[in-house]
Structure 1
Amino acid sequence: MSVPEVIPIQYLPDYRTRTIGRCEGGQFYASVVAAFPEGWSGDDWQAVKRWHAVLHRFDEAGRHLDSRIRSTGTTADGEKQAVAAAQLLLEEWLDALPGRHYQDIAIAPFEVRFEGALFGLVLEEDADEEDEDEEDGGVWMELYPDGLAFSFPWNGCYDT
């Protein structure tokens, strides 16, 4: 199965992709999201689950330019406060984007690590997938840490 070089992401104003679009100089994907450091395991998840404001920017061709990521607290510190702080910060960042308008985007895979957590659009494969005649071929692109999965027919729709 062939994966496109850029992955379409559909703008859905009342759902998880309500803060994506275009601005002067390219495209953007923004979200408020919680993340754990890669490889973390343990019982005290509330102290490790960090909330973030995230703004990824891409050029017109969908290539990653930069990412702005800021932690606003942990669930143990107070989830409501951490989420509210991340939302306020994200609104400031979005308001500062010149020529911002919300719409579908198409971006290339990328990876950024922040405080030990993975942020990016990463190719995933089902190692147990045996039937390569299947349309999806057991491959998809996963947006981390948002948990959005994009796959065949690569039309911008996603699974959570």
Structure 2
Amino acid sequence: MAKARLLTIADEGGEAISEIGVFDGGLFFGGLALVRQWFAVLHRFDADGNHAGSDVVGCGPDPELARRRLTDLVAALGPVRRQDIAVRLFAVRRDGTIFGLVSDVYDDGEEYVDLLPTGIRFDEPWDGLYSS
């Protein structure tokens, strides 16, 4: 999967990608991440899957606060529709941590993509499903 290709992300639910779909401005996905503190994370993309921005909100030790902040971030998008999306790889750094979809290769040369910092992984057959 070259950086220019789109990565499908399926609407599977779960904490790392609990919000996903489309809005008038494009595509989005978001969830919670725990790295020294809880973060509410919402990534936005244009209709072609290009990264358009990320909101990464530190919420201290309180996962409930992070869930409320994520709800607020999604509400600010306006009307949304849940569905699978396809986006390009990207990375942003906040508070010394990388947030994004980053590719790497296994020892056997096969490529995979990690959603950082959560550690969920996408790989063959590139069907949008992920593992942790």
Q: If the length of structure 2 is used for normalisation, what is the TM-score?
A: 0.91
Partner of 1:10: 10
2:55 to 47, 68, 79: 68
Q: Which amino acid aligns with 1:142?
A: D
Partner of 1:45: none
| 1:30-79: CA deviation from partner (whole Å, max 9, x where unpaired) | 111112xxxxxxxxxxxxx11101111001111000011110104xxxxx
1:124 to 95, 104, 114: 104
Partner of 1:58: 45
Task: Quote the offset at 1:116 in angstroms.
Answer: 0.1
Higher Rg: 1
Determine if the alignment matches structure 1 residue 110 to structure 2 residue 97: no
Q: Is the 8 A contact 1:18 1:102 kept in 2?
A: no
CA RMSD of aligned residues (A): 1.4
Q: Is the 8 A contact 2:12 2:129 kept in 1?
A: no
Pick the structure with more helix per residue.
1
- The CA distance in 1 between the partners of 2:8 and 2:22, in whole Å, is 13
Partner of 1:91: 71
**Displaced runs of 4 or more, over 3 A:** none
* Structure 1 segments unaligned to the other structure (5+ residues): 36-48, 75-81, 130-136
Partner of 2:114: 142
Task: Quote the offset at 1:99 in angstroms.
Answer: 2.5
| 1:1-56: CA deviation from partner (whole Å, max 9, x where unpaired) | x447110000024x343311111121001111112xxxxxxxxxxxxx11101111
- The CA distance in 1 between the partners of 2:68 and 2:56, in whole Å, is 13
- The CA distance in 1 between the partners of 2:78 and 2:65, in whole Å, is 23
Identity %: 34
Q: How many residues align?
A: 130
Partner of 1:41: none
- The CA distance in 2 between the partners of 1:34 and 1:122, in whole Å, is 18
Task: Quote the offset at 1:148 in angstroms.
Answer: 1.4
Determine if the alignment matches structure 1 residue 152 to structure 2 residue 124: yes
Q: If the length of structure 1 is used for normalisation, what is the TM-score?
A: 0.76
Pick the structure with more strand per residue.
2
- The CA distance in 2 between the partners of 1:113 and 1:27, in whole Å, is 20
Match of 2:53, SS state, is: strand
